[in-house]
Structure 1
């Protein structure tokens, strides 16, 4: 592979062209017509495999290494020649992949997405329904940028080639959602204006800005679209990916000349619904799922996504959201998601980041080619780890159930609590945090009136645009509507209370109500400060938990720092209203508040509308018991999902073996080269699958294992054609687990009569025929 020599090659046929002759000798020419140099297929394949294992390995670095092994000085032309040859080699491999896909009948539309992960998507007849049916995650990554040609030196060589597979969503498909956020915001603004109109019976109480936009402030990709800009240097600013819970990449799209705009996750959701919906519900993890759900609900995808796609904030990212958000979106409190953390994108990006240095200055085609190669290799690795994934998750879930159940028994005895109490605690905490919402000040209306009064000045001197003019006019009209509605409510109240003359400043009634209004403003400021500090207390308790890694503690620390700024503002607002009371209340210092928060004794809560220190859900022991209860509940869901995934994976591996056997038999006479390629791939798959089945068998030995390793039938799959075909040798690993005590399931009286690895009489007969036919040629 590392040798360099000059040889003469004799054509196998008189009319054979030079490149074909060179290829038959095991080399790939670096020029199409009159080649003088060639690179061995072994070297090209070595680079492809090594690059898949280490994406940082560039062609230049590989060629430098080859030069060093040959004890020759490195020449730049070698990398150029190798790059050209590698392009041709990838074209050859892609053509072979197409032939293999056609032979295996795997060239139908969306076949790759529908079969990306056997454990997630290979649904079987008679299996227990899962809801959600698919657990996936999506996120953007800005490492895989591409520098724009306009910022490069020299003359750009045109390259019209594009990606070869259906891995990417086209820019045109993404751009159909480019106006969705603007339109959705107009809908939200319209709904807000309707809510702001004062009714006859109630005064308006609106969610505070901190509650509404905390994720927009804390997460850059949740902020306004106008802020998500990128340096003009980059033509492509990264990728937006969607992966299943086992790490298989479902679909990608390029982020072009922008930050993480909402059109990218909308395009991903659209593709997910098109391929998997509506019969398969999807729980989609996204670090700003709380904010994205609003955009999705008001977008054109809203009706289609309802009941099909649900949002989840990933476990790691969730600790940087406020407590209210965690209670609604964190996987700990969501039904059916098991122990999935929805952080698969971060793991994939950790691997793909190594590709950035080699692709940032490449052509668009070479960048896509590198990403496709990386994903293909990643898919093989993730499939090879499927069995280990199931074993580790099963063992973790059983440990959580065993330890958690014992802990819950102790909590039940000492705290006199039941599962219903834990569910109630969660509801009460949600209601409490929702109840601590500050009312909006009249600053917004005052600003709208002032903007309208100076509209002409702004048009002439500031040059504001038509859109800005429309916004000022719209906000002024909304303020006027609120004022008129408020005046109508006042008139009705005056009639109801028999007030003949309106209270004016200086009258006893006016003074009395101003005092009451001051108390009310003080209470609202206190509520806001209380809510922020209580959330900080809960996050501090997480920060001190044993077992948290450095990165997680660091993430929580950054969130607390951001929240501390909100507490400072709330404290200033509290002190302003406390000072205005008659008599004035003592002001609080930042040090006092932080000391109260640090020691967990926030005496300020005594002045709030409700003192939560004696509430069970706020008690440390009750909170620990509640967390344990939901952790055990999610672990039981994880067991249920793994029990479904095990036969799916096992069945998919056997069906893959059978599909290859059929294709090999069909191609053996007319296309022996294709049959040989299929045989090599079957051997590799069998080696990987044997390892997976060994991990499944290991899982079946766990104490508490309740699943079965059995061969089923895929929904819509015709298995009758494979009755006479041999099963792979590793199929004999299958069967039900002994629960770690050597005994079969007591509820299944027929276990002793079944052959392990089979789910029916037909399967058992097929296995017997396979064993009888060992060493014989089978048709």
Structure 2
């Protein structure tokens, strides 16, 4: 480390890579979704190195160990300042009003991971962005919460267990569900495990958000918000906010549902479209194929760093605004 070299293995390393090279590849990886194999081939050709496979493996080992160190350092920094104002500013959106927050929820089944074998069925835990994974057991029965009060009779494929089981039967992590604020800053995420979009996943995310920001999470936009509202009222009786359906999806619902849940007809939502997660999924779609066959740990490290990269880019855009 004195020579700014990072080892390819923690015990008795024979190969090491300069930290500047790892930083350079990290920027290529996050910005251009450049796979490790392509980068290794390019480096091997440039330096006339014949053993491309060895280069690919050792560089991947060093790179993901480097990402793990970065992620751990960020977690320790947050834990050290978790009760300070600075921690709130680092985690929350600086542009959202302090007396209210509008969040958009959505799930993505493209970011799934194939199981290597029958024993490959354990989530990699992380306190960065994915702390809601620990809340699944708390809301395990929430999917059976009564939703008979909603007036929408539309069918939603992602919540259909028969559809999901056919599509992802070889995967343990079926996908990811997360949320952003109305300024598209990522807030909290959770892994969907061998199922569709059960209520326990958005409830876990909302639980974490409410503990971080209190009652500031007042308004929730969700593509199946009409089905989800009874569950949130049952599990969070002190919550007094509103639920709306994203503008793009609202017109796929029945007319009675549109009148009740279209954000254009609900006071307080303004021109918020509720499609901020779709913008994030568009960026993360470049990692879908790359992470599909990774181990759980490397997949999580990749998603965490990618989400952080997306967040930093939007924070820079916010700071450039003259009115901010």
* Alignment pair present for 1:149 and 2:85: no
Kindly indicate whether the alpha-carbon contact (under 8 Å) linking 2:145 and 2:231 is maintained by their aligned counterparts in 1: no
Which residue, 8, 26, 51 being the options, matches 2:4? 26
SS in 2 for 1:277: helix
The residue that corresponds to 1:284 in the other structure is 220
Q: For structure 1, which runs of at least 5 residues remain unmatched after alignment?
A: 1-22, 124-129, 192-210, 387-688, 700-708, 710-779
Shift in Å, 1:30: 2.2
CA distance in 2, matches of 1:181, 1:29: 46
Shift in Å, 1:170: 4.7
Which residue, 257, 260, 273 being the options, matches 1:328? 260
SS in 2 for 1:138: strand
More helix by share: 1
- The superposition leaves residues 265-300 of structure 1 with CA deviations (integer Å, 9 ceiling, x where unpaired) of 22222223333333x252111111112113333x33
Higher Cα radius of gyration: 1
The residue that corresponds to 2:203 in the other structure is 266
Kindly indicate whether the alpha-carbon contact (under 8 Å) linking 2:152 and 2:257 is maintained by their aligned counterparts in 1: no
Equivalence map 1:376-415=2 (5 Å):
376-386=308-318
Equivalence map 1:502-521=2 (5 Å):
none
- The superposition leaves residues 633-654 of structure 1 with CA deviations (integer Å, 9 ceiling, x where unpaired) of xxxxxxxxxxxxxxxxxxxxxx
CA distance in 1, matches of 2:73, 2:104: 31
CA distance in 2, matches of 1:300, 1:96: 34
Equivalence map 1:145-184=2 (5 Å):
145-150=112-117, 162-184=124-146
Kindly indicate whether the alpha-carbon contact (under 8 Å) linking 1:228 and 1:258 is maintained by their aligned counterparts in 2: yes
Which residue, 96, 102, 122 being the options, matches 1:120? 96
The residue that corresponds to 1:106 in the other structure is 81
Structure with higher RCO (Cα < 8 A, 6+ apart): 2
* Alignment pair present for 1:300 and 2:263: no
The residue that corresponds to 1:389 in the other structure is none
- The superposition leaves residues 182-231 of structure 1 with CA deviations (integer Å, 9 ceiling, x where unpaired) of 2426xx4xx9xxxxxxxxxxxxxxxxxxx94532x2x22455x6765353
CA distance in 2, matches of 1:161, 1:294: 29
Instruction: Classify 1:258/1:160 alpha carbon distance in 2 versus 1 (closer, same or farther; 3 Å).
Output: closer
* Alignment pair present for 1:36 and 2:14: yes
Shift in Å, 1:85: 1.1
When the two structures are superposed, what TM-score results if normalisation uses the length of structure 1?
A: 0.38
Kindly indicate whether the alpha-carbon contact (under 8 Å) linking 1:30 and 1:39 is maintained by their aligned counterparts in 2: yes
Shift in Å, 1:248: 1.3
The residue that corresponds to 2:34 in the other structure is 57
The residue that corresponds to 1:718 in the other structure is none
CA distance in 1, matches of 2:74, 2:212: 22
Instruction: Classify 1:293/1:159 alpha carbon distance in 2 versus 1 (closer, same or farther; 3 Å).
Output: closer
The residue that corresponds to 1:134 in the other structure is 101
Shift in Å, 1:351: 0.6
The residue that corresponds to 1:356 in the other structure is 288
CA distance in 2, matches of 1:162, 1:268: 17
How many residues are paired up?
A: 322
Kindly indicate whether the alpha-carbon contact (under 8 Å) linking 2:151 and 2:257 is maintained by their aligned counterparts in 1: no
- The superposition leaves residues 14-62 of structure 1 with CA deviations (integer Å, 9 ceiling, x where unpaired) of xxxxxxxxx22232232444433221111111111111112x3221122
When the two structures are superposed, what TM-score results if normalisation uses the length of structure 2?
A: 0.87
Kindly indicate whether the alpha-carbon contact (under 8 Å) linking 1:137 and 1:284 is maintained by their aligned counterparts in 2: yes
Kindly indicate whether the alpha-carbon contact (under 8 Å) linking 1:64 and 1:74 is maintained by their aligned counterparts in 2: no
The residue that corresponds to 1:195 in the other structure is none
Instruction: Classify 1:256/1:222 alpha carbon distance in 2 versus 1 (closer, same or farther; 3 Å).
Output: closer
Shift in Å, 1:337: 1.4
CA distance in 2, matches of 1:290, 1:376: 31
Kindly indicate whether the alpha-carbon contact (under 8 Å) linking 1:139 and 1:240 is maintained by their aligned counterparts in 2: yes
* Alignment pair present for 1:83 and 2:15: no
Q: For structure 2, which runs of at least 5 residues remain unmatched after alignment?
A: none
Instruction: Classify 1:295/1:40 alpha carbon distance in 2 versus 1 (closer, same or farther; 3 Å).
Output: same
- The superposition leaves residues 134-185 of structure 1 with CA deviations (integer Å, 9 ceiling, x where unpaired) of 111001000111111326xxxx8x9999344331135441132221232426
Instruction: Classify 1:160/1:33 alpha carbon distance in 2 versus 1 (closer, same or farther; 3 Å).
Output: farther
The residue that corresponds to 1:214 in the other structure is 153
More strand by share: 2
What is the root-mean-square deviation of aligned Cα atoms in Å? 3.0
Which residue, 228, 244, 255 being the options, matches 2:192? 255
SS in 2 for 1:120: coil
The residue that corresponds to 1:372 in the other structure is 304
Kindly indicate whether the alpha-carbon contact (under 8 Å) linking 2:181 and 2:187 is maintained by their aligned counterparts in 1: yes
Shift in Å, 1:354: 0.9
